[in-house]
Homo-oligomer: A and B are copies of this chain.
């Protein structure tokens, strides 16, 4: 088990990961690192870390380093960690894109101590106050390009995740980025687009939000998400996202055309076929792989 853990980035995901580890490993010492001093202080106050440290100092002695910063910061931070990492220690990142980071570290002599990780968990909130211990429980967590990680380190890490009640899945970093463009990144853009459209009309039509119900709230919720976190995600995965967004715009344009024609049969058919999404959403969680 890991006795000394360093968490870099004490936001929603890093903070929640810290709380899960504290719950799992009695006596673990967690060092928190955050570029923002108010965030670091807050995180200490909330018990997300036992102490706060500087990046360069806090990575040297750790058994496990978890990088939970915006995706454009991750590659350099992982490389710096690998440079300093002690034998038998692990560094993982929790970023929402995986190909870029895997490419950046692929020739590092300690590549086999790195695990590219993406927990499928989050909320529209950010910062240390948004963290909570159960965020990661019963959620999927994707480990990418695992053949490049030393197998007993991988097992050790995977066992910890399983004990944190996460469901571990494996995938190549390229497949990860392609798929996540559809089932996560595109959802965010569809929400941001909807929010922008409705805010725009509000300028001329005051009180429009009197009529906003739970359906609107649900579809637009992700438009609260942090631009600082999401701008680099969109940028790094822009080719996959652009393809997904193109398909989405085509589907909406098709729907607009059958609406303008008042083609009831085709409108009904489009919805009936899409109701198949119920199969996906109501599916029981997949069995653990081992």
Q: Interface on A for B, CB 8 Å cutoff?
A: 120-124, 139-140, 142, 169, 175-176, 178-180, 182-184, 186-201, 205, 208-225, 227-228, 230-232, 234-235, 238, 241-242, 244-249, 251-253, 255-256, 259-260, 262, 264, 267-268, 270-278, 280-281, 283, 286
Number of copies of chain A assembled together: 2
In the bound complex, residues from chain B placing their C-beta under 8 Å from that of A196 are 251, 270, 273-274
In the bound complex, residues from chain B placing their C-beta under 8 Å from that of A270 are 192, 196
In the assembled complex, the Cα of A253 lies from the Cα of B267 at a distance in Å of: 23
Q: Is the interface of A mostly helix, strand, loop or mixed?
A: helix
Q: Tell me the minimal C-beta distance from A247 to chain B in angstroms.
A: 5
Task: Tell me whether B247 and A255 are in contact (CB under 8 A).
Answer: no
Task: Tell me whether A277 and B242 are in contact (CB under 8 A).
Answer: no
Task: Tell me whether B184 and A211 are in contact (CB under 8 A).
Answer: yes
Task: Tell me whether B224 and A275 are in contact (CB under 8 A).
Answer: yes
7 smallest CB-CB distances across A and B, nearest first, come from A227-B271, A195-B277, A120-B213, A187-B219, A195-B274, A183-B212, A193-B252
Q: Tell me the minimal C-beta distance from A268 to chain B in angstroms.
A: 5
In the assembled complex, the Cα of A224 lies from the Cα of B281 at a distance in Å of: 9
A283 and B209 contact, Cβ closer than 8 Å, known pairs A201-B244, A259-B238, A275-B227? yes
Task: Tell me whether A247 and B201 are in contact (CB under 8 A).
Answer: yes
In the assembled complex, the Cα of A120 lies from the Cα of B214 at a distance in Å of: 8
In the bound complex, residues from chain B placing their C-beta under 8 Å from that of A195 are 274, 276-277
Residue with the highest number of chain B CB atoms closer than 10 Å, among A188, A196, A260: A196
Subset of 19 A-B contacts with CB under 8 Å? A121-B213, A122-B215, A178-B205, A179-B211, A180-B211, A183-B211, A184-B211, A187-B215, A187-B219, A190-B194, A193-B252, A195-B274, A195-B277, A199-B280, A218-B222, A223-B271, A223-B274, A238-B259, A242-B256
In the assembled complex, the Cα of A176 lies from the Cα of B207 at a distance in Å of: 11
Task: Tell me whether A142 and B211 are in contact (CB under 8 A).
Answer: yes
Q: Tell me the minimal C-beta distance from A58 to chain B in angstroms.
A: 29
Q: Tell me the minimal C-beta distance from A120 to chain B in angstroms.
A: 4
A201 and B182 contact, Cβ closer than 8 Å, known pairs A227-B268, A280-B209? yes
Nearest opposing residue in chain B for A212, CB measure: B183
Residue with the highest number of chain B CB atoms closer than 10 Å, among A176, A179, A228, A232: A179
Task: Tell me whether A188 and B208 are in contact (CB under 8 A).
Answer: no
In the assembled complex, the Cα of A169 lies from the Cα of B211 at a distance in Å of: 9
In the bound complex, residues from chain B placing their C-beta under 8 Å from that of A272 are 227
Nearest opposing residue in chain B for A283, CB measure: B209
In the bound complex, residues from chain B placing their C-beta under 8 Å from that of A277 are 195, 198-199, 220, 223-224
Task: Tell me whether B271 and A230 are in contact (CB under 8 A).
Answer: yes
